[in-house]
Amino acid sequence: MHKGTCLCGQVQYEYTGELGPIAMCHCSQCRRAQGSAYGTNSPIEASHFRIVSGRELVKEFESRPGKKRAFCRECGSPLYSRLDSKPEALRLRIGTLTTPIAAKPSYHIFAGSAAEWYEFSDGLPRYTELEDSPLL
Q: What's the angle, vertex CA 92, arms to CA 87 and CA 96, rounded to 5?
A: 145
The CB-of-106 to Zn ion minimum distance in angstroms stands at: 15
Q: Is 24 in the site for Zn ion (CB under 5 A)?
A: no
The CB-of-86 to Zn ion minimum distance in angstroms stands at: 15
5 CB-near residues (< 8 Å, 6+ apart): 11, 12, 13, 96, 98
Q: 2 or 31, CB closer to Zn ion? A: 31
Q: 15 or 114, CB closer to Zn ion? A: 114
The CB-of-39 to Zn ion minimum distance in angstroms stands at: 5
Q: Which of 39, 48, 104 is nearest to 67 (CA)?
A: 39
Of residues 29-68, those binding Zn ion (CB under 5 A):
30
Distance CA 68, CA 52 (A): 20
Name the amino acid, one letter, at 10: Q
Three-state DSSP class for 36?
A: coil
Stretch that binds Zn ion, among 6-14, 62-70, 82-90, 113-121 (CB under 5 A): 6-14
Q: Is 27 in the site for Zn ion (CB under 5 A)?
A: yes
Q: Which of 19, 74, 83, 97 binds Zn ion (CB under 5 A)?
A: 74
CB 4 within 8 A of CB 19: no
Per CB under 5 A, residues contacting Zn ion are 6, 8, 10, 25, 27, 30, 72, 74-75
